[in-house]
Structure 1
């Protein structure tokens, strides 16, 4: 990890979730959150199903009006899955 990035760990309902910091941005691990719903091997499926829902896409559209970075991240993630 580079010198301007740091990582914190939070615990929610017994599950460890990684939070990454880089300059003014914070990133929460969606994979860690998905593991609370299903086991480790199904976490990617949980995220893929979530990212495809109409309400999630509508949220991305609204949020993209405020920040292009979020749109680029989510679109890139969607293409990788």
Structure 2
């Protein structure tokens, strides 16, 4: 193999490795987002049942409380699932 062909092959392999690593990161992030959305949906369900609100209103309650308490919506959702209540404002 000549030097030029070797460099092209090495470049090709490096690009493939980069693509695989990028795809693995994206797959991890998508799995995490799916898990989070399930938890947020469950917390919305709790709020909808207990407070008799619509899905949009339940999410707005989570979002507003998240901002007021400077916490991620997902972390707050886990608390709502566990306790059935939003933190006091």
The TM-score, its normalising length taken from structure 2, stands at 0.31
Larger strand proportion of the pair:
1
Which one has the largest radius of gyration? Answer: 2
Larger helix proportion of the pair:
2
Point out which structure has higher relative CO (alpha carbons under 8 A, 6+ apart).
Answer: 2
The TM-score, its normalising length taken from structure 1, stands at 0.33
